[in-house]
Structure 1
Amino acid sequence: MDASPDTPADVTARRASSFGGQAAAYAAERPDYPDAAIRWALEPVEARTPLRVLDLAAGTGKLTEGLLRTRAEVVAVEPDQAMLAELHRFLPGVRALAGTAERIPLGDASVDAVVVGQAIHWFDPERAFPEIARVLTPGGVLAGLWNHEDDRVPWVSGLQEVSQSGVVFSRWQDRPRLEPSPEFPALEHEDFPNIQRRTAESMAGTVGTHSHVLVLSGEERAELLDRVRRYLRETPETANGEFDLPLVTQAVRGVRV
């Protein structure tokens, strides 16, 4: 009997758990976050002393590193052991714990801000948002940051076309959306420019860390990444070694009621 085809929920689960096997590549190739976006995320609580911040679903510490440039006391929580190990290696002085958005290993009202980079779309909102509210102090802030290639630039739009894999994502269609909830009823949005220096090889490395690529077979993945390299080497804006990749960092924040 043939195996049943994957359901959208199956694909989502596979994508959500796909990053650990490429933790080192994720640390090396994924973009970081602009300081202006991080400051905006923390603005509602910036006057608090000490300012205690949780980097939730911290991955390899891309956002943690930026948070450490503020005056905040930072703790990181990440569910994947390989990603957590990479975070420990990259930022050995940071308190980093195993845990999920639905079960955070911190006490009630223990942090002033929960900041999430590139991950809120993986959360179960009905369980995660009450749990986030539990660890926040009154008036604390939840903020989400997402880096997206700026597809208003024609060559970037072309890159996105050749990077498509056909893997369907059932949750929010890969678009960052944080919906109002009883815990966070009013949301604010802001966009920030974010430029990353890339080569054809490092750009292919970045694409290779995207979950829709990680769940492909080895042959399919190699074919897609070869297509990306070929496109970049044949495109005038990216053909001569290093180039600037224009990103938009989308930020959303809400204050706990």
Structure 2
Amino acid sequence: MHPPVPPISSRDEPRFRDRERKNALAAAFQEQGEDYDRLRPGYPGAVLEAMLAQMPARAAGGEGRAIDLGAGTGKLSWALAERGLSVTAVDTSAAMLETARRGGASLPTPSGTASPAAALATSPAAALATHLAPAEATGLPAGSAELVTVAQAWHWFDAATASAEAARLLAPGGVLALVWNMLDVTIPWVHRLSRIMHAGDIHREDFTPTVGPELELTARSVHQWEDPMPTGDLIDLARTRSYVITAPEERRAKVLANLDWYLHEHLGHAPGDLVGVPYRTDLFLYRAARQSLVGLRGC
């Protein structure tokens, strides 16, 4: 039987002023592929293993198929391919998917792997395909994945139609994984960093995603870890935030100058110092509701 899900409230995820503002912020990432891939963190090995452990094909010793919705530059897609899955990265940005096809950045991931390209050299079973489409209507065959993932992107989708599409894509017994990396703002200096950076993807402690009735939550977990970054890269990380991307030049320059002051003067780091940036990764696992009920009856 599945372990009990920790009690959490049903508060909404981050709110947007209106649909037009939401679309403008989402579009801001379209041309940020290289910087986004170089500067945004990967995903801890424990999070990946928690996803894979629930896959029916993995339990049976198979390799498994995954569809990564809103894949962007393929940060999560490549991590799954590295572990032997056949992965289809789905996104609406051709520029982001082009970065994904090139194999992503060469920076180490939290699990210590060197690069996606290097991983493929040692894991010939790994495979990554890309598919240009919205998450709400991928056009991919029904039941074509044992694992469907969404990393940093669910709040950009229409939850009702994306839920129905995810449930349609899942093979029998398959798992949907929603995952977010967030700065760990329980640490005071990180909280101030997030405010200066205007990090808008910080959820409340009792956050839970909105999903449709086709899906049933089966597990939730929080993983804390650090991503080491030189101070210059940490400043540049702000450039990948939708608020900074869409801000007027004067406001953007002020944000970056404030970050420079905070890191180098207030916190006392020398330029280029390596800073361990604390993150928390929230993982939510779902199964199609009817499959979950059948599984529970058989326990």
- TM-score, normalising length from structure 1? 0.88
Paired residue for 1:226? 257
Question: 2 CA distance for matches of 1:62 and 1:178?
Answer: 21
Corresponding residue of 1:27: 37
User: Shift of the alpha carbon at 1:219?
Assistant: 2.0
Find the aligned partners of 1:50 and 1:86 in 2 and give their Cα distance. 25
1:236 aligns to 2:249 (yes or no): no
- SS of 1:33's equivalent in the other structure is coil
| Aligned equivalents of 1:29, 1:189: Cα separation in 2 | 26
Query: Do structure 1's residue 112 and structure 2's residue 126 form an aligned pair?
Result: no
Q: Which residue of 2 aligns with 1:12?
A: 22
Q: What displacement does 1:235 show? A: 3.4
C-alpha separation in 2, matches of 1:179 and 1:24: 30
2:280 pairs with 239, 242, 248, which one? Answer: 248
- 1:237 offset after TM fit, Å? 6.3
Q: Give the residue type in structure 1 aligned to 2:209.
A: L
Query: How many Å apart are 1:239 and its aligned residue?
Result: 4.2
Question: Which ranges of 4 or more aligned residues in structure 1 deviate by more than 3 Å?
Answer: 235-240
Percent sequence identity over aligned pairs: 30
Runs of at least 5 residues in structure 1 that lack an aligned partner in the other structure: 1-5
User: Greater CA deviation, 175-184 or 79-88?
Assistant: 175-184
Matched, 1:148 2:179: no
- Superposed counterparts of 1:90-239, under 5 Å: 90=103, 94-164=128-198, 175=203, 177-236=208-267, 238-239=269-270
Aligned CA distance change for structure 1 residues 125 and 7 (closer, same or farther; 3 Å): closer
What do residues 112-144 of structure 1 show as CA deviations (whole Å, max 9, x unaligned)? 110111101111011111111111112211101
Residue 88 of structure 2 aligns to a residue whose secondary structure is strand
Q: Which residue matches 1:3?
A: none
Quick one: distance in 1 between partners of 2:238 and 2:227? Answer: 14
Residue 47 of structure 1 aligns with which residue?
Answer: 59
Query: Does structure 1 residue 57 correspond to structure 2 residue 70?
Result: yes
Structure 2 CA distance, aligned partners of 1:156 and 1:7?
26
For 1:90 and 1:226, the matched residues in 2 are separated by: 32
Measure, in 2, the Cα distance between the counterparts of 1:162 and 1:188: 33
Q: What is the identity, as a one-letter code, of the residue corresponding to 1:255? A: R
Secondary structure of the residue that 2:172 maps to in structure 1?
strand
CA distance in 1, matches of 2:170, 2:134: 15
Secondary structure of 1:54's aligned partner: strand
- What is the CA–CA distance in structure 2 between the aligned matches of 1:47 and 1:74, rounded to whole Å? 18
Give the residue type in structure 2 aligned to 1:107.
P
Equivalent AA in structure 2 for residue 65 of structure 1: W
Shift of 1:177: 3.4
- Counterpart Cα distance in 1 of 2:99 and 2:184: 28
Q: CA deviation at 1:174?
A: 5.2
Q: CA RMSD in A?
A: 2.1
2:82 counterpart residue number: 69
Shift of 1:76: 0.9
Query: Within 2, Cα distance between the matches of 1:60 and 1:11?
Result: 23
Inter-partner Cα distance in structure 2 for 1:83 and 1:180: 26
Give the TM-score, by structure 2 length: 0.76
SS where residue 104 of structure 1 aligns? coil
CA distance in 2, matches of 1:32, 1:134: 27
Which one is further off, 219-228 or 181-190? Answer: 181-190
Q: What's the CA shift for 1:9?
A: 2.1
SS at match of 1:181: coil
Q: 1:34 to 1:237 in 2, by over 3 A?
A: farther
User: Tell me, which stretches of 5 or more residues in structure 2 are unaligned?
Assistant: 1-15, 105-116, 118-126, 290-299
User: Structure 1 residue 185: deviation in Å?
Assistant: 2.3
> Partners of 1:256 and 1:238 in 2: how far apart?
48
